[in-house]
Structure 1
Amino acid sequence: MISFAGLAHAEVPPFAFIAQGPTVSLALDENGTAWAWGSNYDGECGIPASEGLEYVTRPVAIHGLDNVTSIDAGELFVIALKKDGTVLTWGWSIFGDLGYVPNNTTYNQSREHFSPLPVPGLSDITGISAGQHFCVVLKSDGTVWTWGDNRYGQLGDGKQVTIDDYYAGAHRAEPGMVVGLSNVTYVSAGPINAAAVKDDGTVWVWGANSRSLFGEAGENSTGLLAITTPVQVKGLENVKEVKLGHAHALALKNDGTVWAWGDNSYGQLGVAGKEFSNMPIMVHGLSNVTQISAGEGHSVALEGDGTVWTWGQNKYGQLGDGTTSNSYSPVKVHLPPIKAVSARGFNTMALDYNGTIWIWGNNNYGQLGNGLSSGSTSSPTTLQAATQGPIASGVPSQSRGDSTVLLAILLIILAVAVGIFIYMWKR
């Protein structure tokens, strides 16, 4: 078994970029090196799962990657963008998630690849985003390209999806252009849907017709399983960034206001008394917001003064306010000045101006990086605090292994000595 003891006590470097996946946490250091920790069921952390590392509970550098400018994760795979505009992926590819089919196998065979490989046919990429089992990328010419799972029309290629091909067809393991989109400046993938912002500030969405997520353009009353080509979200303009949760969406306008729509079961729209909204509504209590992010059922906003605000679901402490109570309005997270935030699933991350990562929420896969693969935390903790823990669940460190070997040798020597003593005594 391979030992990673040399990494177990290494200090993590200052970071420049963060991305929270559903079960894995990701970061880029100042040199463009990618780091990962959390689930490694299918090699998401760049380590073959055959080594017995189901969870990587401390940050490890992913080999074979440099000059990375952006990184993101789906359910069991990772996507990275390099400075030269090329895209690399690794992990699981049952629906063509990686942009190719490893070893020329079929779509319905689970296939893994543990080291980053370029996605064929892609160049001049400026933005990436990962859904549950699909990817969305933005090219420098303003076109949007997708690949992977298409059970809910999330590839935006116009192919009608029906119950009959819910499991079998509609998937694509190579990049294809989204129909009817141009002049796009920003893309974002939700678990089973996607969104784009055009240079005129309008928002366009496609994929699973989650609860009122498409606004008046695609209410559930239509009975459609999926929206297979982009539709405009009504009531939104001057938008620069959009994020999708499981069944809710956030939009950040140029004036620093945040707008939300979709499901409000946990308060993720930032308003009480509404079960859902099929039209965007402004989130009150926020101003001069510079970045937004969305988890499974919670929302995050970063203001220009470096303060972080969260609202919505809080079962695992993902709001970071020291409680596990849901909130229907933004609550302030006690942190030093922050320059970037990222949320996904039941976790939230923040990056301060010293390059330190703060993280909180669920830890079922080791995504908190604290040496454990269970529990949760409702208050922000620094990633540096994890430097004393083991690197992976169920894998002993080298020092422990050396001690075990030494003890065994001493026991053997003692047994031999006792045997010699008894033999001599009997004589």
Structure 2
Amino acid sequence: MLRPYATSLVVLLLASLLSAGCASVEPDWNIEPDASSPDTDAPDSGQPDLGLPDADPTDVGEDADAAPEDDADTTEPLPCDGLCGPNEQCRDEVCVDLCDEAGFVCGDHTLSGQAVSCGSCDLGACQEGQCVDVCGEVGAECGDIYIDGTRYSCADCAGGERCAPNNLCVADQNFVDLSAGAEHTCALRPNGQVRCWGRGDDGQLGNRAYSGSQFPTASFNIDGALQVSAGNFHTCALMGDNRVRCWGLNAQGQLGTGTTNNANQPMAVTSLLDVTHISAGGNHSCARTSLGLVRCWGFNAQGQLGGGNLTATLSKINVQNQGGGNFDQVVDISLGNNHSCALRTSGEVWCWGLNDKSQLGVSGTQGATTPRQVFNLPASRRISAGYDHTCALTLDGDVYCWGRNDNGQLGRGTSGSPGLAQRVNLPADAVDVAAGWLHTCAALVDGSTHCWGDNARSQLSRASTLGDSASPISVPLLEEVYRVAAGRYHSCALSTSGEAFCWGAAENGQLGDGTQGDANNVRITPVQVAP
């Protein structure tokens, strides 16, 4: 409804237009409304209605009384001529960054007819407007590298590390632990990375390849590992979150993934938590939990999983006591080819699985599907299971061995029939022992290394023509050794300076020095593993 004052306004406008002969005129918006005509509409609020208009007469339409929306943009674009940066261009009064528009982060370019400089790369090279990690592409972690004659500076190593000649950051202590498989070797670095070398056709190096390496190669996506264990043809690592990853041969489910598919990169072991120690054997694996229990998986034809049966399964098996219940109070475990052993808090050693060579340390050759205590063995602090024999390091620093002795691997001065636990005659107390396939090595308190048993490929560090040795012989050129490892035909040692040395068979690169040995594919004397 038109109010009275509005009606008067309309009449005046029409009259003005008619008098002008419908000529175009500017209306006089200053016309006062007819105040004598009262506003008969109800007031809009509780205040008295003074008869004044409710809005500016120019505000017409159904939204005339609506207030502007809060988020309405009432600003006008400002002219940008002369105000844009060197990499910007003015378009529709807006400065447009040409580098951002093209998605470039580095380099000099001509974009939209204008020369621009999109910045530089802190590391690496600029290629097609993008920073490319050329160091990472060639596997260089540190130092300077040259590509097509151009020098690139890679990152600096972290504190406590140094840049090796191969442009890798290595700790001042290169390695802190090592483990030998049948024909490959793995070592743990202080930062928790795992390096493996040697035979790799089953993926046991974990470097996403099914081929070997004569140099240490990084196992993929392993960082923060606490322990590494090399089995015959597979490898496992204990991670910082107390979970386990395994890789390599998986024909018997030894990787613990619930399948029998081989893996050339680390795979998470399923249904296994809170692990504090691991061991990889012939075709099976075991883990010790924080509760002192042992869980095993993989091949079980000889009862080596310790569950009280010979049933094949891809599941994890809790090792059982002979009379039932979980086998507990375990502090260390070690696996052989078809048998397993555990060290308990009491210092007792218990073994289970195949016993055809007395590798369980009990009378007779009857195998066991649950643990049996080793006879005639003093309290021990470390154990090592070889292919068909086993050794223990006692609290007094003595080494005792039992099982197969065809090649003198028990170190008792004679070879031949298998035997129960008996002390090895060493010139000094031992600090570590490693049982390989058919030979054994020990690190002594004076820093020396001694080996005995099979010498077919110079794994005792003497010419193979000299034959086996049923008594320990000293390995030359090694000092301050505190850790030893023994594989099929090769041996390794770790010094207190973090340097690793290997000797013996080299045809698969298992010595890690970048060669396949001499003309006979062996190294009689120890060679240093490349960092």
Asked if the contact 2:299–2:305 (Cα under 8 Å) also holds between the matched residues in 1, the reply is: no
**Structure 2 counterpart of 1:355:** 447
**Structure 1 counterpart of 2:314:** 228
C-alpha distance in structure 2 between counterparts of 1:396 and 1:153, whole Å: 33
Asked if the contact 1:366–1:374 (Cα under 8 Å) also holds between the matched residues in 2, the reply is: no
**Structure 2 counterpart of 1:412:** none
Residue 282 of structure 2 aligns with an amino acid whose one-letter code is P
Q: Go from structure 1 to structure 2 and tell me whether the alpha carbon gap of 1:257 and 1:396 turns closer, same or farther (over 3 Å shift).
A: closer
C-alpha distance in structure 2 between counterparts of 1:354 and 1:178, whole Å: 39
CA deviation after TM superposition for structure 1 residue 82, in Å: 0.2
Q: For residue 228 of structure 1, give the secondary structure of its aligned residue in structure 2.
A: coil
Answer yes or no: is 1:376 the counterpart of 2:376. no
**Structure 2 counterpart of 1:330:** 421
More deviation, 270-279/126-135: 270-279
CA deviation after TM superposition for structure 1 residue 273, in Å: 2.9
Asked if the contact 1:349–1:359 (Cα under 8 Å) also holds between the matched residues in 2, the reply is: yes
Answer yes or no: is 1:147 the counterpart of 2:147. no
Asked if the contact 2:254–2:297 (Cα under 8 Å) also holds between the matched residues in 1, the reply is: yes
C-alpha distance in structure 2 between counterparts of 1:157 and 1:100, whole Å: 18
Asked if the contact 1:369–1:386 (Cα under 8 Å) also holds between the matched residues in 2, the reply is: no
**Structure 1 counterpart of 2:435:** 343
CA deviation after TM superposition for structure 1 residue 176, in Å: 1.2
C-alpha distance in structure 1 between counterparts of 2:187 and 2:250, whole Å: 21
**Structure 2 counterpart of 1:69:** 176
Answer yes or no: is 1:137 the counterpart of 2:237. yes
Q: For residue 476 of structure 2, give the secondary structure of its aligned residue in structure 1.
A: helix
C-alpha distance in structure 1 between counterparts of 2:521 and 2:335, whole Å: 36
Answer yes or no: is 1:125 the counterpart of 2:225. yes
**Structure 1 counterpart of 2:372:** 281
Give the one of 240, 255, 261 matched to 2:352. 261
CA deviation after TM superposition for structure 1 residue 386, in Å: 10
Asked if the contact 2:457–2:522 (Cα under 8 Å) also holds between the matched residues in 1, the reply is: no
**Structure 2 counterpart of 1:113:** 213
Give the one of 145, 153, 157 matched to 2:257. 157
Asked if the contact 2:348–2:373 (Cα under 8 Å) also holds between the matched residues in 1, the reply is: yes
Q: Go from structure 1 to structure 2 and tell me whether the alpha carbon gap of 1:310 and 1:371 turns closer, same or farther (over 3 Å shift).
A: same
Instruction: Name the one with the larger helix percent.
Output: 1
Asked if the contact 1:156–1:207 (Cα under 8 Å) also holds between the matched residues in 2, the reply is: yes
**Structure 2 counterpart of 1:321:** 412
- Give the aligned length: 315
C-alpha distance in structure 1 between counterparts of 2:319 and 2:252, whole Å: 18
CA deviation after TM superposition for structure 1 residue 89, in Å: 1.5
C-alpha distance in structure 1 between counterparts of 2:522 and 2:452, whole Å: 26
CA deviation after TM superposition for structure 1 residue 385, in Å: 8.3
C-alpha distance in structure 1 between counterparts of 2:374 and 2:521, whole Å: 46
Q: For residue 345 of structure 1, give the secondary structure of its aligned residue in structure 2.
A: coil
C-alpha distance in structure 1 between counterparts of 2:251 and 2:305, whole Å: 17
Asked if the contact 1:246–1:295 (Cα under 8 Å) also holds between the matched residues in 2, the reply is: yes
C-alpha distance in structure 2 between counterparts of 1:229 and 1:373, whole Å: 46
Answer yes or no: is 1:100 the counterpart of 2:207. yes
C-alpha distance in structure 2 between counterparts of 1:310 and 1:281, whole Å: 16
Asked if the contact 1:93–1:101 (Cα under 8 Å) also holds between the matched residues in 2, the reply is: no
Q: For residue 364 of structure 2, give the secondary structure of its aligned residue in structure 1.
A: coil
CA deviation after TM superposition for structure 1 residue 371, in Å: 3.4
CA distances 1:59-82 after superposition (whole Å, capped 9, x unpaired): xxxxx8852011122222221110
Answer yes or no: is 1:88 the counterpart of 2:212. no
Q: Go from structure 1 to structure 2 and tell me whether the alpha carbon gap of 1:192 and 1:395 turns closer, same or farther (over 3 Å shift).
A: closer
TM-score, structure 1 as length reference? 0.69
Asked if the contact 1:215–1:280 (Cα under 8 Å) also holds between the matched residues in 2, the reply is: yes
User: Whose Rg is larger?
Assistant: 2
**Structure 2 counterpart of 1:78:** 185
Give the one of 213, 216, 224 matched to 2:307. 216
Q: Go from structure 1 to structure 2 and tell me whether the alpha carbon gap of 1:175 and 1:373 turns closer, same or farther (over 3 Å shift).
A: farther
CA distances 1:324-380 after superposition (whole Å, capped 9, x unpaired): 133442111111211111111011111111110010011112111113367211000
More deviation, 227-236/146-155: 227-236
CA deviation after TM superposition for structure 1 residue 228, in Å: 2.1
Q: Go from structure 1 to structure 2 and tell me whether the alpha carbon gap of 1:298 and 1:177 turns closer, same or farther (over 3 Å shift).
A: same
Asked if the contact 1:311–1:326 (Cα under 8 Å) also holds between the matched residues in 2, the reply is: no
Asked if the contact 1:243–1:292 (Cα under 8 Å) also holds between the matched residues in 2, the reply is: yes
C-alpha distance in structure 1 between counterparts of 2:418 and 2:521, whole Å: 39
Q: For residue 154 of structure 1, give the secondary structure of its aligned residue in structure 2.
A: coil
CA deviation after TM superposition for structure 1 residue 394, in Å: 4.5
Asked if the contact 2:207–2:218 (Cα under 8 Å) also holds between the matched residues in 1, the reply is: no
Query: Percent of counterpart pairs with the same letter?
Result: 32
C-alpha distance in structure 2 between counterparts of 1:396 and 1:294, whole Å: 25
Answer yes or no: is 1:196 the counterpart of 2:282. no
Asked if the contact 1:271–1:328 (Cα under 8 Å) also holds between the matched residues in 2, the reply is: no
C-alpha distance in structure 2 between counterparts of 1:86 and 1:314, whole Å: 36
CA distances 1:370-420 after superposition (whole Å, capped 9, x unpaired): 133672110000102899x998454999xxxxxxxxxxxxxxxxxxxxxxx
C-alpha distance in structure 1 between counterparts of 2:328 and 2:263, whole Å: 32
Give the one of 386, 396, 410 matched to 1:305. 396
Residue 232 of structure 2 aligns with an amino acid whose one-letter code is Q
**Structure 1 counterpart of 2:86:** none
**Structure 2 counterpart of 1:251:** 342
Asked if the contact 2:306–2:317 (Cα under 8 Å) also holds between the matched residues in 1, the reply is: no
Q: Go from structure 1 to structure 2 and tell me whether the alpha carbon gap of 1:234 and 1:354 turns closer, same or farther (over 3 Å shift).
A: same
Q: Go from structure 1 to structure 2 and tell me whether the alpha carbon gap of 1:359 and 1:393 turns closer, same or farther (over 3 Å shift).
A: farther
> Please, which runs of 5 or more residues in structure 1 have no aligned partner?
1-31, 33-63, 162-169, 398-427
C-alpha distance in structure 2 between counterparts of 1:215 and 1:118, whole Å: 33
Q: For residue 99 of structure 1, give the secondary structure of its aligned residue in structure 2.
A: coil
